[in-house]
Structure 1
Amino acid sequence: MLRAEDLCFAYPGQAEPYRFTFAARPGEITAISGASGSGKSTLLDLLAGFLSPRSGKLTLDATDLLPLAPEERPISLLLQSESLFEHLSAGRNIALGLPDNMARHDIAANVANALAEVGLEGFGEQRAATLSGGQKQRVALARTLLRDRAVLLLDEPFSALDDDTRQLIRTLVRTLTTRHNWHTILVSHHADDIDAIAHWRYRLANFHLTAE
């Protein structure tokens, strides 16, 4: 289980610090809602290691995550913008999640399997710039699959999608979370996204998280 216990952080000049306490279970989606500017992105940055807390604990099972640099944490981050290299193919974007020393035939097999799992069989050679928004999010999810990290952070990942595509990608995220036993944390101010896929809910207001 991923646990944050009284994780405390304040920006310079901030009168009251943020204090985050919550738990995220494997194979389930934990949603964090709150108004714009309430601190949702601050929480994700603390979890990912881009910010350092004043105090508190952050653990995954028996592992203390706070001493670990961002690249050492078992965490993947999926943003509203997919962070793909537009000039590269879908397959090459996905392969960025694999070790540099992996054999070429193993890379090809892993990429093909990941594309199949997100419903993009045959799209490996297609340039990222030519993909739709929903297809780009699927490529980003496929890359997450190959990173094989226990925690997935989602920062408003569906906001730029049309309604039909949004429903498909939400369902895919929930399916992959269950299948791979991820601790998925969804940050969103869209109630319909949370209602559709979240197992657990917290609301961020007045610098604190409250279970709903």
Structure 2
Amino acid sequence: MVFIIFVIFWACVLSLVLSKIKSGRMAKWAKLFRILTLVFSISIFAYWFIKKSAVAFVDNSVGLQVINKLPQPLDFYLINVNKMENTTTLEPKHIGKIRPEYYRIEYLKMDKSDEYWIIGYLGKKNLVYFSQHAVPNKNIDQIVEVQNYINQSVKLSDAAKKQVDAYNYENTKLGIWITLDFLLLFLNLVLILRKNKS
């Protein structure tokens, strides 16, 4: 998706430059390129947002229910520990902020994993909960009740924190590029509609 966002960005920049061509044979090709850029970009973003907002159910997955029994809302992250031959990779995912006595459901793809970690933050940087969970039977859904402020392993929680920080940094960068794309799309759309009206 990152590559497509860069492509959309440069296509929109080129569309703005081409909007200066107002006459001649090149004007028709420029207008066609600008219209195709708009249609392609809007279609990609529409598909992406629908996919993101849909329920994240995964085939052959393990259902995980995280219940917050603590008196304060916590921001939870999940790290799937993938093990392949001699390497271990940590795959972070944001579960979301869970209020007291509420829960969230996630679906874990456990084909390369038999373990996951749950990290809870009070605020943005204050890690107050870390737990490590094994999945011996991948046919049984998991329920995790967060009842105490605990850190089961300082070493593992430090590794998890680094992964979460990197994950949030990448999401922030992606958010900035998407915002720029939307701004350029809006400018291109306004220019095309205004030209059509005149």
Does the alignment reach a TM-score above 0.5?
no
Greater relative CO (CA pairs within 8 A, separation 6+): 1
TM-score (norm. length: structure 2): 0.26
More helix by share: 2
More strand by share: 2
Mark the structure with the bigger radius of gyration: 2
